[in-house]
Structure 1
C-alpha cells in the first residue's frame, strides 16, 4: 500500500514512518506542487488538512484515506474532489501544549505591554510602569476539548478563573464553570481574556460577533486560535479602534495572510502570528504514534480500531 506524506512546513520525517511501518511504501514531497507527480498510485495521504487541495486530490484516483495532522479538518470537507467514501482521521489530542503556550504568550505580552518594552529597549529608554498579572483574571474558553482542558489547567496554575462555553459538556477538569452557547454574551461580560478554540462550521461562523465583543469587559483581550471566520473581523477591528477591547492575539484570520490594508497589522495592541498555533519543535514525536497506529490499522483492514475517526 502506497502512502504519500506531504511535508510542507511540518517536522514529521518520512523516515520515521518508514521505520515504524516497514510494510508500507512511503513517498514524501516537500510541498503540494511537488506532490502531484507522485500522487497517482498513492492510496493514503498524510498531510496538514489546510495543505490538501482539490488539485492534489484529483491527482490521486486511488485515494482511500486522508490522515490529517491537524485537529481541525473543516477544510477537507470543503474539497469538491474528495469523494465521500474516503476515510478521514485527525490529529486531535496532541496540540494542547503548543496552543496553550501561544495563548500565554499573547496574554502575558499584552497584559505587560511587552511591545512598548521592546521599543524602549531599541531606543535605549529606561521606563517603568505597573505590571498587570494574570492572577485573579478570568479566561473564557469558547469550545471545550483536549486543547481547552490543557489550557484550563495552565490557567489555574496562574491563579486564574476559568469559564468554558459548551453545549456538549456539563463539567470538565480545570474549569470553574461551564456555560451554554446561549449565554456567550453573559460569559463575555466576565472575560478578561476570551479565547476562541471552537471548530469552524456554519453554526460557529461569526460566533464571536459585535454583540459578544461589545459585551466584554472594557480592556478585555480576544485570542483566536481556532479559525479566522469564527470571529467577525470587522467587528473586532471596530472594537479595538474604539477602545472597547484592550487587545487581541490572532493566529488565524478571515483572509490569510491579512490584506496589506488591514488595520490589524499596525495596531500596537494586536499580536499577529502566521498560523503557528499547532506547530512545535517536537511535533513529529507528538503526532507519530497517531499516524503509525492509524496507518497500520488501515493497511491491515482494521478500520474500526483507528483513532480520531472523522468519517
Structure 2
C-alpha cells in the first residue's frame, strides 16, 4: 500500500478489488506503489501520478485520460473495450489491455442454459409449477441440432466444445481462419446468411465493434429458420433491436435468450419484457467471483511482463475495439 512519503511508481486500481486481490497484485510488484482508489474523486486526484491504471471501462472517461497523460499502460477489467473506447483512449500512448478470456467458461455455460431452456420450453414448466398444474408435453432435444456461433474467441470456442458434447453440429463465423476444436465448419462474414439458413440456434459471442454493430438485421433474421432460436451473451447492438423485436413478434424465428441487450439496464417499458417467446437475463452471465479473480490473474501476469519489459498479452486492437 502507498504512504504519503512513498515515491515509487504508482499502480493505480479502481473497481471491485478485494483485500486479498490487492495483496496479490502488490506481491507481483514490490518495486511499485499499489493503491486502490476509494472513489472517483480519489481516482482523478491520483491518476496524474500513475504509471499503470487498472479499472472498469466505465471509470476511464476522456477527462480522466487527459489527467493521466503519463500512463504507460491501461488495463480494463472487462473483456471488451467498447464502453471505454473514446477518441482520447484511441489516441492515448499507453498500452491498452483487457481481461479477455476471464468469462469464457461462465458465458459458454450461460449459452447452454439458454439453449436448453428455449429448446425444451422451460418457461412452460415454470408457469405450470407456479399454478400447481401437472402438465406433460413433448419437448425438443439438442442432439442432432445445428448451432451457429458468431464469434469464436474464448467464449465462442468454449461453447463449441460444450455444444459438441451435446451431440450438436457446430458452425462458426470469425474474422480469422483458425478453426477451434469442436467447430465442424467455418464461415466468413460474407457467408453469414448461408450459415444462418442452416442453424437451429444462433449464438452471438462476438464483441461490439464498428464491424459487428447491426450485423444481424431484418435480412439476416428473415434467413433464419422459423423454428430457430437466437441467443446473445456478449454485447448488445450486434443484433438490431427493432429487427429482432419484429422477428420475434411475427414468427420469423421461434424465440430468443438475451443476456446482453442493446440498451442496459433494459428499460421497464421495453417490449422485450412482455414477449412470451423470450428469456431475459440482466447481463450477468459472468457475474461470478471466479470471473473477477481470473481477471485479476490476467492483470497480475501482465504486470509481471510489464515490470520485466516483456510484451503484454490481451492487448486491445484500437482499430477494431477488441
The verdict on a shared fold, with TM-score over 0.5 as the criterion, is: yes
Give 3-state SS (helix, strand or coil) of 1:140's partner.
strand
1:153 aligns with 161
Matches within 5 A, 1:16-27: 16-27=24-35
Instruction: Output the CA distance in 1 between the equivalents of 2:279 and 2:213.
Output: 22
2:6 maps to which residue?
Answer: none
Query: Which aligned pairs between 1:237-276 and structure 2 lie closer than 5 A?
Result: 237-276=245-284
1:46 matched residue in structure 2: 54
Match of 2:65 in 1: 57
Give the deviation of 1:233 after TM superposition. 0.6
RMSD (CA atoms) = 2.4
Compute the TM-score of the two structures, normalised by the length of structure 2.
0.87
Q: Aligned partners of 2:267, 2:128: CA distance in 1, in Å?
A: 29
202-211 or 264-273: bigger deviation: 264-273
1: CA distance, partners of 2:90 / 2:64: 10
Name the residue aligned to 1:166: 174
2-structure distance, mates of 1:254, 1:162: 26
User: What residue is the counterpart of 2:110 in the other structure?
Assistant: 102
**Contact 1:8 1:31 survives alignment (8 Å):** no
Gap regions ≥5 residues in structure 1: none
Match of 2:312 among 302, 306, 311: 306
Alignment of 1:1-311 (within 5 A): 1-8=9-16, 13-29=21-37, 32=40, 35-80=43-88, 83-169=91-177, 171-300=179-308, 302=309, 304-310=310-316
> Displacement of 1:134 after TM fit?
1.2
Q: Partners in 1 of 2:219 and 2:11 — Cα distance?
A: 47
Residue pair 2:102, 2:292 contacting (<8 A) in 1 also: no
Tell me by how many angstroms 1:290 deviates: 1.9
Counterpart CA distance in 2 for 1:289 and 1:63 is 21
**Closer/same/farther in 2, CA of residues 33 and 190 from structure 1, 3 Å limit:** farther
Task: List gaps (5 residues or longer) in structure 2.
Answer: 1-8, 318-322
* Residues 1:36 and 1:258: Cα distance change in structure 2 (over 3 Å): same
> What is the total number of aligned residue pairs between the two structures?
309
